[in-house]
């Protein structure tokens, strides 16, 4: 409950960030984005992992509302399909790979497919019409779980039989279904935008997402007390103008 309260405060501060008084703008742009996602899940008890890689892409909507001194203020929202998840690092006590019954290194990964909605307050510095602009944006993000896909080369029976060989012996997550379909958290990113008159805007951004919810139950009777998502996203966005402030 405390995490959700902090999250609500962050949502309110995000929208209040655009409530200053400056030079009015009425610039609406829409477009699309695509990117590469590196993700994992912070499990408690711990599950050793390497970064899971996936794809994210969707639609972007941006409204520039004012220029406050040198800062260009905007609200940006996206509707994305994202493939995230976790990839386990199955090693023995000497950090060597453990083999399955076919002599292959044991491997396990879970692809989690989400529809994600980030709503971001954006501050930019630089050129509005033509040239480069540096920007920072942050805000809440909501996610809706769609489905998942398991990738493994061993059975759970085999994993239990060789559990004592593992440096990390947590395997409950391999057989558990996602319990909480709604995800929520905070995302923030830095990027650069290049604007071309009558052609649009090209944006490159690096963004980090920290989940405040858990994919599994976290009560005292549940196995995991923590199972929140964390993502690093590298993305490119193209926007074209619908309305533009007359200068």
Within a domain: residue 213?
no
> Cα–Cα distance between 6 and 21 in angstroms, integer?
27
Q: State the residue range of the domain holding 55.
A: 2-126+161-197+223-243
pLDDT at 24: 83
**Residue 13: pLDDT band by 50, 70, 90 thresholds?**
low
User: If you average pLDDT over residues 98-119, what whole number do you get?
Assistant: 96
Mean pLDDT of the chain: 91
CB 23 within 8 A of CB 66: yes
Report residue 83 CA to chain centroid gap.
10
* 190 assigned to some structural domain: yes
What global pTM score does this model have? 0.88
Is position 133 within any domain?
no
Q: DSSP labels for 197-229?
A: TTTEEEEEEEEEEEESS-SS--STTSS-SEEEE
Estimate to the nearest angstrom the gap between the alpha carbon of 201 and the chain centroid: 23
Number of domains, the chain: 1
Query: Is 188 inside a domain boundary?
Result: yes
pLDDT for res 18: 46
Q: How far apart are CA 12 and CA 14, in angstroms?
A: 5
Lowest mean per-residue pLDDT among 1-15, 66-80, 117-131, 185-199: 1-15
The enclosing H or E element of 156 equals helix 156-161
**C-alpha span between 23 and 53 (Å, rounded):** 42
- Alpha-carbon dihedral sign for residues 228, 233, 238, 241: positive
Q: Helices then strands (H, E): number in the chain?
A: 2, 9
Cα dist from 210 to 132, 192, 197, whole Å:
29, 22, 36
In this structure, is residue 131 part of a structural domain?
no
Residue 244: which pLDDT band, with cuts at 50, 70 and 90?
A: confident
What is the distance between the alpha carbons of residues 192 and 194, in angstroms, rounded to a whole number? 7
Q: Which comes out higher in pLDDT, residue 15 or 213?
A: 213
| Total length of the chain | 247
Out of 22-31, 56-65, 201-210, least confident range:
22-31
pLDDT over threshold 90, residue 15? no
Q: What is the DSSP letter of 247?
A: -
Residue pLDDT, tens place only, 111-153: 999 999 999 999 999 998 899 999 999 999 999 999 999 999 9
Q: Is pLDDT above 70 for 5?
A: no
Tokens linked to 20: 């200053």
Residue 77 lies in a domain: yes
Whether residue 26 lies inside any domain: the answer is: yes
Is 17 in contact with 147 (CB distance < 8 Å)? no
Gyration radius of the chain over CA positions: 21
First to last CA, the chain: 48
In a domain, 97, yes or no: yes
pLDDT of 78 above 80 = yes
């Amino acid at each position: 409950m405390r995490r959700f309260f902090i999250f609500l405060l962050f949502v309110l501060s995000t929208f209040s960030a655009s409530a200053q008084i400056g030079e009015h703008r009425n610039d609406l742009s829409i477009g699309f984005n695509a990117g590469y996602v590196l993700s994992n899940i912070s499990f408690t008890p711990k599950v050793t992992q390497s970064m899971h890689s996936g794809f994210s892409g969707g639609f972007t909507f941006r409204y520039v509302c004012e220029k406050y001194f040198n800062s260009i203020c905007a609200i940006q929202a996206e509707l994305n399909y994202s493939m995230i998840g976790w990839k386990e690092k199955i090693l023995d006590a000497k950090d060597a790979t453990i083999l399955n019954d076919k002599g292959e290194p044991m491997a396990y990964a879970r692809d989690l497919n989400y529809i994600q909605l980030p709503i971001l307050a954006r501050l930019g510095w630089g050129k509005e019409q033509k040239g480069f602009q540096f920007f920072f944006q942050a805000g809440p993000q909501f996610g809706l779980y769609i489905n998942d896909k398991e990738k493994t080369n061993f059975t759970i029976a085999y994993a239990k039989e060789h559990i004592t060989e593992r440096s990390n012996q947590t395997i409950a997550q391999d057989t558990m279904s996602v319990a909480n379909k709604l995800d929520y958290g905070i995302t923030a990113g830095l990027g650069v935008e290049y604007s071309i008159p009558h052609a649009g805007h090209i944006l490159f951004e690096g963004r980090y997402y920290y989940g405040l919810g858990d994919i599994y139950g976290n009560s005292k009777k549940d196995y995991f007390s923590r199972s929140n998502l964390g993502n690093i996203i590298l993305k490119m966005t193209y926007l074209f103008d619908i309305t533009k402030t007359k200068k």
